Amino acid sequence: MAMSAAATSPSFTLTKLLSSPQIKQPLSLVSPHKKPNFMFPSSAAFTPFPLKFHRTKPFKFSTTSTPKISATISVGDKLPDSTLSYLDPSDELKTVSVSELTSNKKAILFAVPGAFTPTCSQKHLPSFVEKAGELKAKGVDTIACISVNDAFVMKAWKKDLNVGDEVLLLSDGNGDFTKAIGCELDLSDKPIGLGVRSRRYAMYVEDGVVKILNLEEGGAFNVSSAEDMLKAL
pLDDT, tens digit, 9 for 90 and up, residues 101-153: 999 999 999 999 999 999 999 999 999 999 999 999 999 999 999 999 999 99
**Which of 109, 111, 112, 120 is the catalytic position?**
120
Sign of CA pseudo-dihedral 201, 165, 230, 95: positive
Could you tell me the pLDDT band of residue 46, with boundaries at 50, 70 and 90? very low
Q: Are 100 and 79 in contact (CB under 8 A)?
A: no
Ranked by mean pLDDT, the top range of 37-46, 189-198, 206-215 is 206-215
Domains and CATH numbers, the chain: 83-232 (3.40.30.10)
CA distances from 92 to 11, 45, 76, 162 (A): 102, 93, 36, 19
Range scoring the smallest mean pLDDT among 54-68, 114-128, 181-195: 54-68
Name the strand (E) or helix (H) holding 160.
helix 151-160
pTM: 0.70
pLDDT at 7 over 50: no
Q: What pLDDT, on a 0 to 100 scale, did the predictor assign at position 164? A: 95
List, as one string, the DSSP characters of 109-130: EEEES-TT-HHIIIIIHHHHHH
Per-state percent for the chain, helix, strand, coil, to nearest 5 = 25, 20, 55
- For the segment 11-21, the average pLDDT, to the nearest whole number, is 45
Q: How far apart are CA 194 and CA 175, in angstroms?
A: 13
Q: Identify whether 183 is a catalytic site residue.
A: no
Report how far apart, in Å, the C-alpha atoms of 118 and of each of 112, 197, 220, 225 are. 11, 15, 12, 15
